[in-house]
Structure 1
Amino acid sequence: MTRNVPAARRGRFPRMRWSTSIASAAAIATAVTLAGLAAPAAATPAPVTPSPVTRAALDPSLVSGRGAALGFSEQEAEKATTNGTVIGPDRTAYTLPAEASGRSAVSLKPGQYVQFTLPAAANAITMRYSIPDAPQGGGITAPLAVSANGGAARTMTLTSQYSWLYNQYSFTNDPNAGLIHPDWWITECKCVPSQTTPAPVISTPFRPMHFYDEQRLLLGRTYKAGDTIRLTAPAGSPAATTTIDLLDSQVVAAPHIRLIAANVLAFGADPFGKRDSAAAFDKAIAFAKKTHLKVYVPPGRYQVNRHLIVDDVTIEGAGSWYTIITGKQVTLSTPAPDGSVHTGVGFYGKDASAGGSHNVHLSGFAIEGDVRERIDTDQVNGIGGAMSDSTIDGLYIHHTKVGIWFDGPMSNTHITDTVIADQIADGVNFHTGVTDSSVSNSFIRNTGDDGLAMWSEKTADARNTFDHNTVQTPTLANGIAIYGGTDNTVSANLIADPLREGSGIQVGSRFGAEPFAGHLWITDNTTVRAGTYELNWEIGLGAIWFYALERNIDADIQVVGDHFLDNTYNAIMLVTDFPVKDQYRITNVHFADIRVDGTGTSVVSARTAGSASFQNVDARNVGAVGVNNCGSFNFTPAGSEFSLTDLGGNDGGGTTGPWLAAWELPNTITCDDRPPVVVPPAPSPWN
């Protein structure tokens, strides 16, 4: 996407006495942020066994060394104490349990509660929840009482204004809407509505999704391990049900203060968020560049209702729990040249066509957007444009369209220790010629499209790395997706609970991407409860999914050391779309040192021509034939057009015997288009 870049603002600014005014302003803003949160001390109850700590709803020992480590403890509501109703587990799309972490949650009626016992000291919580939509769409608000150790409760205001999408892509907020695309194939009636007489009747709301949201709360004091946090849906709540998915708890450090800096308060920024501070930020950024200082944003809530253009500047907050930069989504009077019809809060590098931005360093603040609908032409991302030789560290990005969308060419930019949640589309997308860049130790939850993506449209992404990240509950598409590119790496990530029309990891020749070249390393990742149902094809996918739609996939692809746990359908899937099944192939893919623990169907499903090799691939609890080999569906006398090479050490299987049996090699046809699903047992330690 392209966009307009406003001319840089210029001006002269007075000298400031940084040592006194800034420190006092930071203290005042911190007091404002924490005011009213401290609860009166309560008597400590008798020791209670803590609610289990999980990672992606798994025992942490099963994913040791994989995913992000950001210092919070995750506890699932269905494992806590409650007088509400546990819903799930269920993996059926368009249901509340299916979109929950671990595919289960707790539903509270007014007056009911769920109570968590802290496993470690904490002064802050993040709570993931869902409340109903308004009958006509647009969301409602409802209270939630939060109390510690049975003490006085404070009230959080929950909202469904940023959730509840309906209908066909790219979705609508209207639960009563008719079909957005009346000429599209509709699986539910197996028809093309515009060619059906009479026109099909669809039930409304049609395909509801994206139910959950999250909120954070500073508790005002530090509670110790064994203390309890109770969440109660108050009597009289307008929400008929309040569904709690999980609680994250942690100790948040004191606010970071930088005394010698271009403090935005000195340029007129409002830390109470009552007036727009965009111009004040522009002035602080210009002054910092002129004087070679950093920009400092003290604790507070700052209203910024448009893009801030950043280049050759460092912007630091006091920490993402203290410095909140938020903005309303603003409708433009006329569409921008790039097609945007809205603007909103966001930090943008200059467009790549203008040379992009360089030496941008953003850290220690939150970006709270106001995006409630998906409009793909809109530039309403948390961070956008092109930024080379830059860093993004310790941010919290919430309620934007895409957390971070980079349009290259650009290079050498690194995203670390960042949380991205509740996006209407992707978490992070490296788009068009992003090179030598990375996302590491970051946490992405509840995206409306790919959690992490490299998209080599027009120009190849190259030498990039996604490493030690956690991606949970994308409601559409994939946890991690690589669309073309050269010499990229996906390593040591934890990916859980993709909901529909995607996989834990996808390697795709699609969306106009440049070809795969050089190598692609996919190493030491863990997926859990992945391999979703593809609505349009009406088949189950794999936890890792290779998809040749527009080109051959023939680069050197090494899938090594990965664990595929509790796979809803297949662990590994290789597909060429049926209309081009005799044009494209998937070859040169090598699997080694893999563990597959539980499949609803097969270990490998091949629906393409080509080949792959397997070495030390161990499987257990396999629900169907180990290799479902349909090839290109030509059923030739010579066998399948897809061949498997056994390099040894491929052990285990299921009720049908060894998953990779001699009779299946190299290309025996074992095609079962839609095998029955056998629900696998929960993952367990591998002896």
Structure 2
Amino acid sequence: MSPTLPGFAVRTFNPSPRLVAALAVTTAATLGLTVAVGTGAASAAPAPASPVVTRAGLAPSLVAGRGASVDFAEQEAENASTNGTVIGPDRSAYTLAAEASGRKAVSLSSGEFVDFTLPGAANAITVRYSIPDAPTGGGITARLNVTVDGGHKKSMTLTSRYAWLYNLYPFSNDPNAGVLHPDWWITECSCVPAATTPAPTIATPFRPNHFYDEQRLLLGRTYAAGSTVRLAVPRGSRGVSTVIDLLDSERVAAPHVDLRAANVLLFGADPSGRRDSAGAFDKAIAFAKRWHLKVYIPPGTYQVNRHIIVDHVTIEGAGSWYTIIKGHQVTLATPAPDGSVHTGVGFYGKEASVGGSRNVHLSGFAIEGDVRERIDTDQVNGIGGALSDSTIEGLYIHHTKVGMWFDGPMTNLRITHNVIADQIADGINFHTGVTNSLVSNNFLRNTGDDGLAMWSEKIEDAHDVFDHNTVQTPVLANGIALYGGTDNTVSNNLIADPIREGSGIHIGSRFGAEPFTGHVWITDNTTVRAGTFELNWKIGLGAIWFYALERNIDANIEVVGDNFLDNTYNAILLVTDFPVKDQFSITGVHFKDIKVDGTGTSVVSARSAGSATFENVDARNVGAVGVNNCGSFHFSPAGSEFSLLDLGGNDGGGTTGPWLAPWELPNTITCDDRPPVVAPPAPSAW
């Protein structure tokens, strides 16, 4: 954690609120001109192709009412006009296609392009892309030309500095590194290298991953629907293979101006980003608290290389496209008491051990970090600490370790309408005793661990809600994960394209979490292209999966109204790790009003003792048998140790007939440990 606010004499420069307001108007007007938003009509262009707008790579009608309400339109590159090469589909880990949204993208070589037709008026775009790493790691840069209707040329400098991790957890930036943990089980050779004679050779780069990054660009004027945005690789570009995954387009409103706030420019903040503004932010916060004002950060890029400690303060930016707080990762001379060896830009509440912070309200700015490696002890998150009775709204958080990581106990936090992208680890994590808090209408893409998580380590998270969020392409772990807790809800979310060692929605008794107690509600969510392959176990997970590793899972868990679409393997998995299969079980899970459209293998795979009920679970396009019931692998004459209780209305299936009916329930053994995968057709309206 950063030290407390440094002392300063307010009386040496103590402007009146009237002066603050006047300067805010002048500053915002001046800086606003540098990011002017035009409204002129686009010039004439050839008739464009009809734009294909998707949500998580699907027709919006298939996910209506699920996920975040966002200001942008998503267009997949594979649906646009291009002279490049479409890659994918592929769901194999460590491939460019698998990490792309929708599992497809477009690869461009020198001189090639992809054309996107704007579906609505727009003055800003976000490009998700991948370019190669440097031969020895650390990334390269490459130029991408942007033109609209053949004119208005702009250029983006792409980078792979924040992409391309390798090797075993917690990963390496070196593509030539040997195995980081030679005593670990290596699935590629099914061995423990240190115990194998001769030692196996692992090809490098070993397990490359986290390929993509994104970049935002203001176009400088508003272009009408039907205009063509061309992304082109210049001839001779260093990015020999530039992969374009998608383009988001939107019409960004004019900068927000707060006329009665403490403007950070009055306290020495530098909107050019050349000088560090952390001290100026501290002074503005102290002044605002003294005079009961908000803090206003006008348009500009502000360099901040450490934590800004916030408590009883409101901080507003001009909007996340205009106000950018950007910092370098700084190596500490000695490790901090919490184990951090680096610090960096972030807004942090006080630690819970000293009471935490309250009444903090953050809105309308971007946080651009500089995190390129995963060091779990580092506090280099966009938002951190303990924040009670607080709100976080309208932020864009990019290139930090975790977008928002909260160490409780704390209560009553509202996180709404934020965008979090390209994280080394989680998107948002409620860690230890976070209660009565809401995460709603947030969009997360390309996290390096769970997109959204509640982790009840030592103290349970309770009465929290994850609602109407979109989580796309988490590279590692799950879209949404609950690790213990009481009376928590996951509702109306959209989760797409989890890559490895996790899946769409996860209920796990692991990582030292407190038990699940009371109720857990998993309601009205949609997953797509989940049910991944578990690389360590070499089995398929479920789009939703339950894992009893350290305790029984025996709370009342209601899974109601969820849709599991285009599952690579199973829709539902209930599993206990083999060494503890006779110690722990999964009970009290109820599935009702579920739609399963497409499974590579089964609707339900049970690899645990316990039971679950099923009512009105409709399935179609099932690749293997509806139920793969291995129980605890004792294969007793009494049947499986896991019982599936049929409460009626469970219809549909695949080539074997109704998915649930034929198995002489409740506990017929139907164990095929690794059934062949049959790729399902694309989802369609039910």
Common fold: TM-score over 0.5: yes
Contact 1:4 1:338 in 2 (8 A): no
Distance in 2 separating the partners of 1:372 and 1:159:
12
Residues 110-509 of structure 1 aligned to structure 2 (within 5 Å): 110-509=110-509
- Residue 510 (str. 1) matches residue 517 (str. 2): no
Deviation at 1:26, TM superposition (A): 1.3
Q: Give the corresponding residue for 2:578.
A: 578
Contact 1:344 1:370 in 2 (8 A): yes
Q: Name which of 17, 20, 24 aligns with 2:26.
A: 24
Change in 2 beyond 3 A, CA 1:40/1:520: closer
Q: Name which of 4, 9, 12 aligns with 1:11.
A: 9
- AA at the equivalent of 1:615: E
Distance in 2 separating the partners of 1:112 and 1:346:
39
Secondary structure at the counterpart of residue 284 of structure 1: helix
Q: Cα deviations across residues 567-624 of structure 1 (Å, max 9, x unaligned)?
A: 0000000001110000000000000000000000000000000000000000000000
Deviation at 1:109, TM superposition (A): 0.1
Distance in 1 separating the partners of 2:490 and 2:453:
10
Change in 2 beyond 3 A, CA 1:613/1:9: farther
Distance in 1 separating the partners of 2:390 and 2:3:
19
Contact 1:40 1:151 in 2 (8 A): no
Count of matched residue pairs = 682
Contact 1:432 1:456 in 2 (8 A): yes
Distance in 2 separating the partners of 1:4 and 1:281:
14
Distance in 1 separating the partners of 2:628 and 2:445:
32
Contact 2:2 2:309 in 1 (8 A): no
Distance in 2 separating the partners of 1:463 and 1:8:
37
Change in 2 beyond 3 A, CA 1:333/1:528: same
Structure 2 runs not aligned, ≥5 long: none
Aligned-CA RMSD value: 1.2
With structure 1 as the length reference, what TM-score do the two structures score?
0.98
Distance in 2 separating the partners of 1:193 and 1:237:
40
Distance in 2 separating the partners of 1:265 and 1:646:
66
Deviation at 1:154, TM superposition (A): 1.1
Contact 1:40 1:152 in 2 (8 A): no
Q: Give the corresponding residue for 1:56.
A: 56
Deviation at 1:399, TM superposition (A): 0.2
- AA at the equivalent of 1:606: A
Distance in 2 separating the partners of 1:424 and 1:394:
21
Distance in 2 separating the partners of 1:188 and 1:42:
53
Q: Cα deviations across residues 292-350 of structure 1 (Å, max 9, x unaligned)?
A: 00000000000000000000000000000000000000000011111100000000000
Secondary structure at the counterpart of residue 631 of structure 2: coil
Deviation at 1:416, TM superposition (A): 0.3
Secondary structure at the counterpart of residue 205 of structure 2: coil
Q: Which moved more, 1:67-76 or 1:385-394?
A: 67-76
Contact 2:603 2:622 in 1 (8 A): yes
Q: Give the corresponding residue for 2:546.
A: 546
Distance in 2 separating the partners of 1:179 and 1:335:
26
Distance in 2 separating the partners of 1:59 and 1:302:
39
- Residue 636 (str. 1) matches residue 636 (str. 2): yes
Contact 2:475 2:499 in 1 (8 A): yes
Deviation at 1:20, TM superposition (A): 2.6
Distance in 1 separating the partners of 2:506 and 2:97:
24
Secondary structure at the counterpart of residue 397 of structure 1: strand
Secondary structure at the counterpart of residue 249 of structure 1: strand
Distance in 2 separating the partners of 1:650 and 1:529:
22
- AA at the equivalent of 2:22: T
Residues 515-534 of structure 1 aligned to structure 2 (within 5 Å): 515-534=515-534
Distance in 1 separating the partners of 2:35 and 2:58:
34
Secondary structure at the counterpart of residue 488 of structure 1: strand
Q: Which moved more, 1:48-57 or 1:323-332?
A: 48-57
Distance in 1 separating the partners of 2:27 and 2:395:
22
Secondary structure at the counterpart of residue 98 of structure 1: coil
Contact 2:78 2:104 in 1 (8 A): yes
Secondary structure at the counterpart of residue 220 of structure 2: strand
Distance in 2 separating the partners of 1:664 and 1:570:
21
- AA at the equivalent of 2:196: T
Distance in 1 separating the partners of 2:497 and 2:623:
19
Contact 1:42 1:150 in 2 (8 A): no
Change in 2 beyond 3 A, CA 1:555/1:42: closer
Deviation at 1:46, TM superposition (A): 4.0
Distance in 2 separating the partners of 1:516 and 1:466:
17
Q: Give the corresponding residue for 1:536.
A: 536
Distance in 2 separating the partners of 1:259 and 1:4:
30
Q: Cα deviations across residues 464-501 of structure 1 (Å, max 9, x unaligned)?
A: 00000000000000000000000000000000000001
